[in-house]
Structure 1
Amino acid sequence: MRTLPYADPGQPDLRSPSRFLLWIARGQIGVITLATVYGMIWMVAQALIPWAIGRGVDGIAADDTGSAVRWALVIAGLGAVQALVGAVRHRVAVANWLYAAFRTMQVVTRHTARTGPAVPNAMPTGEVVATASSDAPHIGHTFEVVSRFAGSIASYIVVSGIVLGISPPLGLIVLIGVPVLVAATSPLIRPLQNRQRQQREALGHLTALGADTVAGLRVLRGIGGEQVFLGRYAQRSERVRAAGNRLAGTHALLDATLVLLPGIFLVALTWVGARLVLSGTILPGALVAMYGFAFFLVIPVRTAGEMAFATARALVASRRVIAVLTVDRDVHDVPDAPPPASTNSDSDAAAPGEPRTNGKPNAGLPADDLEPDGAPRGMLVDTVTGLRVEPGTLTMLVADDPAVTAAVADRLGRLVPGTGVELGGSPLDHLPLTEVRRRIVVGDPEPALFTGTLRSNLDPHECHDDESLRHVMTVTSGEDILETLREGFDSPVEERGRSLSGGQRQRVALARVLLTDPEILILVEPTSAVDAHTEVAIAERLATMRAGKTTVIATASPLVLAHADTVVWLAAGRVAATGTHHELLDIPGYRYTVTREEEMA
């Protein structure tokens, strides 16, 4: 058995739902083959029991005790094989279910994580959640049924051969009747698939509305909108209920058909067999076997119907999965981009071995701090605003519109396409995304914590010891968090960090970012949820920890700005002034933004 989750779930085939299912099947073809073999042995053993019983009855009718005992032993052996192989078959079938479901979940979650905000922007969050939690198990169920379906086909062939050997008329009834039974259910498959899709879409919309309502519950209470959203949720629930009832009706009709038609088939087969016994064409034991076969054949017919139902549902689920997986990321790698042209003129050429940037020597920088072309490692230039971030400095951004600094942070971290940013003299969008993500880390202004321990939230890859974790918690003034958690770093953190206050969640998220220790760190309002005393402590410790490393902070807090090496004031979307916090206080617009003092007339 494999270890789940997969180390690499692979690249899915998204050309159609059927191709997606075939891609999953290829990934676990060995387990599917094993389950198929076990399923065939299991079902054939079960199919042979009526035949063995009939032969035993003929032995009893002929007063042949030895024959009856031998066939009784054969029946016992078939039962033992069925029991042992059935247990193994069930285990392998469930493994097929889990492998297919987990592979689907992994490709969905991996794609959602890699595309960043693209998937949530393209479809409701509830749709994505339902795809992983509901559609993936539906796909897995199809692969669980495969072994029983293969066994049904094999047993049908075996039973048909036996029945044809006993009596050609009865054999023809079996050979013709069973396919007719299966074909009779096919007209119900398409309506079933359509109603499954409708119910799935209604459920996804309900899930999305519920998630949005819960996320904004505090706001709703503040404006008295709880009843309004409760009414909307009730309306959506009614739509889900109605869609579920329509689906259940079609499903019930399919189930009734699968009971009625085999029943009719059983009556016809028994009547013909009884006539043949009375005419002396077949022995009484053969009639008993025929009756057992008639009952047994209900199982393959129902399994065929279940396979059709599961496949229809899996195709609907695969279509929803593909809808998620085809949402493309906003930011792409540009592997064939030409190297940036050098900005050094011939007159500024450096002597051999002398590093230069923009025509100016960098003799004072160590070799490890330079790009291969001699540019300072980590030099950031934003051509949209005219921002230049010197490497190794603590630079803070203030703007008359907070959206401007947030947009700058997105561009500097290449979180949006067409950045217009240069890193070390190279356009940022010409560098591989893996390199950008390794060298530049952007702290999320809305920190997200996950269910688990404090340790797993701080260090999900388990790369750091307790001393390192304690150090970053000290930098973010998180000592009080550790004091209130009885088990320290192994203390549980509830979903979305609900067991922590807003300021505590922000400090834990900041500690997690600092633990990555990137070459360039970009933070957006990292202390907006803490008190003034804590804000000062964090600013001081952050400046010390990041000394000599490039750090960009978008903030309007004067307590944080006082610790900056350089403060950049942006007005009307462009760099308007650069200096220290105290120097820029002479600018009315800057002073009003950071202190909220009214401008003098």
Structure 2
Amino acid sequence: MQIRDLPHTDPGEPDVRSGFRFLVWLFRRQLGGQAKALGWGTLHMTTVALLPLLVGLGIDAVVDGSGGGLAATGVAMVGVAFVMAFADTMLHRTAVTNWITAAARVQQLLARRTAELGGVLTRRVAAGEVVKVSTGDVERIGWFVESFSRFAASVLVTCGVCAALIVYEPVLGLLVLAGIVAVVLSAWPLLPAATRRADRERSRSGRATELASDTVAGLRVLRGIGGEELFLERYRRASQEVRRASVHNARMWSLIDAVQVVMPGLLMIAVVWQGARLALDGELEAGQLVTIYGAVSFLLFPLRQFQEAAMAFTFSRPSAKRAVRVLGLRREAVTADAPGAGEAADRGAVELPSTGDLWDPETGLLAAEGRLTAVVCGNPELAERLAERLGGHPAQGTGGPSARLGGAPLDAVPLAVARAAVLVQDKDPVLLSGTLEQLLAVPASGRVTAAEALGAAQCHDVLTTLAQSAPEGSGDPMRARITERGRSLSGGQRQRLALARSLITDPPVLVLDEPTSAVDSHTEARIAEGLGALRAGRTTVVFTSSPLLLDRAEEVVFLHEGKVAATGRHQDLLRSHFAYRSVVTRETETADLAEENA
């Protein structure tokens, strides 16, 4: 595969049982590129290894006074040099291609998993860890995949040179072989410690990245309460921990580098000493001695490849583990004894109806088709998990049953199908950077126009603000640019734009988690009216405790301790159910009311 062919048509399904298995899987997906790099690497190193032999032949020709032999040797050296340069060029191109294609494959896998999990991802894995995987870790994983073929070429050529030296001069050949083994094994005991230190550095770096992203995201709020210095001090401490871990890790690699310099130096001294003795005894000619010395000098080059491969593997292992933690996340399937388990076993066998009631077996929540249902839940975490389940994500780690639409389990169908039927807007939606027109350019039924969605979400003041920042004084708010995560807007403005984006999509089922928590009561009342009118005849579920929204709902469902405790109209529940009234109006329970409710 060439870089121009990226992105991959299908990045494949990775082996996420462990970081090492993931690296092996990634390597196997690029066998063609690895074979090319191995071939070019072997050819390049072979030509480099031939130079000492040609130099030795040239010296012998000079000693023998053979002009023809010297000329032939010179021509051969020029030819070998051209082949060496060409092979080195092709090796570099192939190696970089392997690196980039491997990194691109991992990035595509991460993007696919992020798209599959959506907002659930950052609730299962820290945002800083996701950022770390998609940036530095991807590069280190690609580095290992790229370096392995060059390492394999170094092993092949080293074995070939050692075998040739043994045949050429058995005593020196065996000495060189023993020295090479000693050099390689000298760094082996240090690698586990280097791996542990690299793991520690990655962990500290991921924590610092997470703190940095949290601080930047909340800087506006932190300045409002005067807390930016506190968070900056936390980041300073975290960055100092990263620095100490990096220095600690660098010391180990400095030690490994020192060993890799000392051991080959000792080997060279031993070879020169032994070769000089053999030359003095008349067993070696000058050209042969130069050839052996040049061959040993050449072997120092593949030894550096061994060290680079060890570094790449050491650094990539923690990166692969972190990537596996993200790539291993899945929509959790229902358990074998849970309702719908038979259908979920064969995801392609279940068809999701386009209409029907939305039912959650775990809580007993039933949102009738075509109605606006408000859900009151005193526990925000429970409401968040329920919203995930209604979107086709079963409760994480509980093995609970999936929510059902028209009797079909949502987690038994492909995620794209479930999302086309049920759209979930969580309580902290993200606005991507770009123009307002780009923000609202989402897959939609076409039934709801942008003007209708913006009107129902009461975005008039937002449009006025954006019109003032429109380019070239056009006054067109649709061309105005929204900054990253909508930070140039207030919390209420961001929330209303996100609501408009969900409304324009016009899904068969719309689930909103606290869609008006950041707006004032007058705006909230108008949003409640506009939402009911725009979603008339469509199934809508709103998690809220706002009396203004609850009063507009066609049915209110009250959840208590994870189960449906009461259903009805808002005013009826206020009169008849104290627990509901205490959640909605924030009343404090008294003994008299408790007895009355009993």
User: Shorter-chain TM-score: what band?
Assistant: 0.7 to 0.9
1-side partners of 2:32 and 2:498: how far apart?
Answer: 43
| 2:537 equivalent in structure 1 | 548
Find out whether 1:578 has 2:568 as its counterpart.
Answer: yes
The 3 A distance-change label for structure 1 pair 404 and 576 is farther
Contact 2:48 2:84 in 1 (8 A): yes
What does residue range 293-308 of structure 1 map to in structure 2 within 5 Å? 293-308=295-310
Find out whether 1:316 has 2:305 as its counterpart.
Answer: no
Note the alpha carbon deviations across 1:469-492, whole angstroms, 9 max, x for none.
Answer: 566445543644653342976765
What does residue range 484-499 of structure 1 map to in structure 2 within 5 Å? 484-486=469-471, 493-499=482-488
| 1:351 equivalent in structure 2 | none
2-side partners of 1:41 and 1:454: how far apart?
Answer: 56
* Structure 1 residue 265: Cα displacement: 1.6
Note the alpha carbon deviations across 1:163-191, whole angstroms, 9 max, x for none.
Answer: 34543322222222212211122111121
* Structure 1 residue 428: Cα displacement: 5.7
Aligned CA RMSD, in angstroms, stands at 4.1
2-side partners of 1:470 and 1:38: how far apart?
Answer: 61
| 1:56 equivalent in structure 2 | 58
1-side partners of 2:84 and 2:354: how far apart?
Answer: 73
* Structure 1 residue 49: Cα displacement: 1.7
Q: Secondary structure at the match of 1:392?
A: coil
2-side partners of 1:146 and 1:330: how far apart?
Answer: 35
| 2:210 equivalent in structure 1 | 208
Note the alpha carbon deviations across 1:243-290, whole angstroms, 9 max, x for none.
Answer: 222211110011011111112222222233333344443332333333
Contact 2:371 2:538 in 1 (8 A): yes
2-side partners of 1:219 and 1:11: how far apart?
Answer: 41
| 1:363 equivalent in structure 2 | none
* Structure 1 residue 30: Cα displacement: 0.8
Contact 2:197 2:249 in 1 (8 A): yes
| 1:355 equivalent in structure 2 | none
* Structure 1 residue 443: Cα displacement: 1.3
| 2:509 equivalent in structure 1 | 520
Out of 370, 387, 400, the position equivalent to 1:392 is 370
Find out whether 1:189 has 2:191 as its counterpart.
Answer: yes
The 3 A distance-change label for structure 1 pair 236 and 571 is closer
Contact 2:528 2:548 in 1 (8 A): yes
Out of 252, 255, 258, the position equivalent to 2:257 is 255
1-side partners of 2:284 and 2:292: how far apart?
Answer: 11
- Identity of matched residues, %: 39
* Structure 1 residue 24: Cα displacement: 0.8
Out of 529, 552, 561, the position equivalent to 2:518 is 529
* Structure 1 residue 74: Cα displacement: 1.8
* Structure 1 residue 16: Cα displacement: 3.5
| 2:242 equivalent in structure 1 | 240
* Structure 1 residue 561: Cα displacement: 5.9
Q: Secondary structure at the match of 1:526?
A: coil
1-side partners of 2:138 and 2:329: how far apart?
Answer: 18
Contact 1:448 1:509 in 2 (8 A): yes
Letter in 2 for 1:501: S
1-side partners of 2:544 and 2:30: how far apart?
Answer: 51
| 2:498 equivalent in structure 1 | 509
The 3 A distance-change label for structure 1 pair 201 and 376 is closer
Note the alpha carbon deviations across 1:130-161, whole angstroms, 9 max, x for none.
Answer: 23323332221112212321232233234335
Letter in 2 for 1:393: R
Contact 1:419 1:429 in 2 (8 A): no
The 3 A distance-change label for structure 1 pair 506 and 6 is farther
Q: Secondary structure at the match of 1:34?
A: helix
| 1:367 equivalent in structure 2 | none
Q: Which deviates more from structure 2 when the two are superposed, residues 328-337 or residues 28-37?
A: 328-337
Note the alpha carbon deviations across 1:486-534, whole angstroms, 9 max, x for none.
Answer: 2976765443232333233223322332343211112233234345676
Out of 541, 547, 566, the position equivalent to 2:554 is 566
What does residue range 263-412 of structure 1 map to in structure 2 within 5 Å? 263-327=265-329, 329-330=331-332, 332=334, 337=341, 377-381=355-359, 388-397=366-375, 409-410=387-388, 412=390
* Structure 1 residue 72: Cα displacement: 1.9
Q: Secondary structure at the match of 2:276?
A: helix
2-side partners of 1:406 and 1:178: how far apart?
Answer: 60
Q: Which deviates more from structure 2 when the two are superposed, residues 585-594 or residues 59-68?
A: 585-594
Q: Which deviates more from structure 2 when the two are superposed, residues 297-306 or residues 91-100?
A: 91-100
Q: Which runs of 5+ in 1 are unaligned?
A: 341-370
1-side partners of 2:123 and 2:418: how far apart?
Answer: 23
Q: Secondary structure at the match of 1:297?
A: helix
The 3 A distance-change label for structure 1 pair 59 and 501 is farther
2-side partners of 1:479 and 1:211: how far apart?
Answer: 29
| 2:181 equivalent in structure 1 | 179
Out of 66, 69, 72, the position equivalent to 2:71 is 69
| 2:159 equivalent in structure 1 | 157
Letter in 1 for 2:568: T
Find out whether 1:144 has 2:146 as its counterpart.
Answer: yes
Q: Secondary structure at the match of 2:61?
A: helix
Contact 1:38 1:147 in 2 (8 A): no
Letter in 2 for 1:104: V
Q: Which deviates more from structure 2 when the two are superposed, residues 547-556 or residues 323-332?
A: 323-332
Q: Which deviates more from structure 2 when the two are superposed, residues 106-115 or residues 296-305?
A: 106-115
Contact 1:378 1:519 in 2 (8 A): no
* Structure 1 residue 574: Cα displacement: 4.7
Note the alpha carbon deviations across 1:20-62, whole angstroms, 9 max, x for none.
Answer: 2211111111111111111111111121122222222333333
Q: Structure 2 length as normaliser, TM-score?
A: 0.80
* Structure 1 residue 81: Cα displacement: 1.6
Contact 2:384 2:426 in 1 (8 A): no
* Structure 1 residue 315: Cα displacement: 2.5
2-side partners of 1:154 and 1:492: how far apart?
Answer: 57
| 2:596 equivalent in structure 1 | none
Find out whether 1:423 has 2:405 as its counterpart.
Answer: yes
Q: Structure 1 length as normaliser, TM-score?
A: 0.80
Contact 1:220 1:226 in 2 (8 A): yes
Q: Secondary structure at the match of 2:423?
A: strand
2-side partners of 1:232 and 1:15: how far apart?
Answer: 35
2-side partners of 1:328 and 1:419: how far apart?
Answer: 15
Note the alpha carbon deviations across 1:71-120, whole angstroms, 9 max, x for none.
Answer: 22222222222222212211211122223333334434544554456654
Q: Which runs of 5+ in 2 are unaligned?
A: 345-349, 594-598
Q: Secondary structure at the match of 2:341?
A: coil
Contact 2:392 2:411 in 1 (8 A): yes
Out of 432, 437, 457, the position equivalent to 1:450 is 432
Q: More helix per residue: 1 or 2?
A: 2
1-side partners of 2:529 and 2:582: how far apart?
Answer: 24
The 3 A distance-change label for structure 1 pair 403 and 327 is closer
Letter in 2 for 1:28: Q
Letter in 2 for 1:445: K
The 3 A distance-change label for structure 1 pair 390 and 571 is closer
